[in-house]
Amino acid sequence: MNTSKNVLILGANGFIGSSLCWAILNRTNWNLTAFDMADGKIQHCLGRDRFVFKKGDVTKDTDWIEAQIEKSDVVLPLVAIATPALYVKDPIRVYNLDYESNVSVIKMCVKHKKRIIFPSTSEVYGMCQDSSFDEYSSNLTLGPIPKERWIYSCIKQLLDRLIWAYGAHEGLDFTLVRPFNFIGPKLDDVKNPKEGSSRVLTQFIHNIINGKSIKLVDGGKARRSFTFIDDAMDCLLKIIENKNGCASGQIFNIGNPYMDFSIKQLAEMLVELVATYPGYAEAAKNVKIEDVSSKDYYGEGYQDVAYRIPSIKHAEELLGWKPKTDLKTALKLTLDYHLAGKDYELESARA
Ligand code: UDP
């Protein structure tokens, strides 16, 4: 990864953004400009060579953003709300941020002829019935309008289609990437998970360590393919590197089809693992696992995805990438960070 490059990340303090900043600074010689409204997750990056950070609001600092796009080689607009509870609770906020702010960045990339790597989502497949979801042949299947959960999926699908059109008709150099339930140390904050608004792993860890019951929505029968963040970063670095243009004009699922588990299995595995951490055995032993209906947990506007398994043949063939981390290892590394005070980034950088 030694061809020099200027990379711009908007939304650098999110889970993917912060992990990517760290990976770029430690594994490449690229220059990185990063933007976010907060910097809590990128503390280890601040002050490093080749790293410039600006704190700001993506909806207001548009002149600064455009100037940075002009100076960059590749742009990753990662700003978005990506938690299902908020799709249902505040769909207008999701629209304003996820659609409006990103569409303007996409147009700036077109105007300045800059490469864009856009985070689409595994949510775009919705309730697709294929046994594994393929970027080029699977149908994207969403529920009816009153099921507000689908606003995020629909926004991302429209942006995917817009980017594809700019690529086909106006020469935009792009890659669409679809994350499948990335997990790892810096997902949401387990101490302050905003009850009902965090991704499932954070919510479960929080509930176990704080003596609250784990709630299994509709019995926890929904399945997800979880992907460890480091595997995802390996893939994203290859996409940014874009050796011989291998990622240009392409769509890639980034997921781990070998990590397909039900939410109930995830809960059981977590309880077992938390019990092995000093000081948490009692909490794990006493935790109750309760069933709750999706209507009671999320409200009427929710509809679940029964399973979500990626086909990764495209990433294997074009990028030579394959995920390596199993679920137990991924959960242990995440719990080491939260429950054993291990600084995951510094330890892995030293390893
Ligand atoms: N879920 C659950 N209990 C919780 C939070 C989530 O059973 O406290 C379920 C949710 O209904 C879904 C799955 O866990 O089936 C994954 O939810 P998440 O919010 O992580 O995001 P998604 O994969 O749906 O985008």
pLDDT at 157 over 60: yes
List own/partner pairs for 91-95 with CB under 8 A and 24 or more apart: 91/148, 91/151, 91/301, 94/151, 94/152, 94/155, 95/151, 95/155
Which residues have a Cβ under 8 Å from the Cβ of 167 and sit 6 or more positions away? 173, 174, 249
pLDDT at 284 over 70: yes
- CB 273 near ligand 1, within 6 Å: no
251 phi, psi to nearest 5 deg: -115, 135
Taking the CA of residue 199 as centre, how many other CA atoms within 13 Å lie in the half-sphere pointing to its CB?
17
**Confidence (pLDDT) at 94:** 95
CA dihedral 160, 80, 115, 163 (to 10 degrees): 20
Q: Do residues 85 and 148 make contact, with C-beta atoms less than 8 angstroms apart?
A: no
- CB 216 near ligand 1, within 6 Å: yes
- CB 181 near ligand 1, within 6 Å: yes
pLDDT at 182 over 90: yes
Cα(214) to centroid(ligand 1), Å: 12
pLDDT at 195 over 60: no
Atom of ligand 1 nearest to the CA of 123: 25
Q: What is the mean pLDDT of residues 66-71?
A: 98
Q: Which of 182, 181, 178, 179 is nearest to 229 (CA)?
A: 182
Taking the CA of residue 104 as centre, how many other CA atoms within 13 Å lie in the half-sphere pointing to its CB?
15
- CB 199 near ligand 1, within 6 Å: yes
Atom of ligand 1 nearest to the CA of 220: 7
Atom of ligand 1 nearest to the CA of 222: 15
Task: Measure Cα distances from 6 to 70, 72, 73 in Å.
Answer: 10, 5, 5
Domains belonging to the chain, first-starting first, are 80-350 (3.40.50.720)
**Confidence (pLDDT) at 78:** 97
- The pTM of the full predicted model, rounded to 2 decimals, is 0.95
Distance CA 309, CA 298 (A): 23
What pLDDT digit, counting tens, does each position of 102-152 carry?
999 999 999 999 999 999 999 999 999 999 999 999 999 999 999 999 999
pLDDT at 32 over 60: yes
pLDDT at 186 over 90: no
Distance CA 50, CA 64 (A): 19
Cα(84) to centroid(ligand 1), Å: 8
- CB 121 near ligand 1, within 6 Å: no
Task: Measure Cα distances from 119 to 153, 307, 340, 350 in Å.
Answer: 12, 20, 32, 29
Atom of ligand 1 nearest to the CA of 84: 19
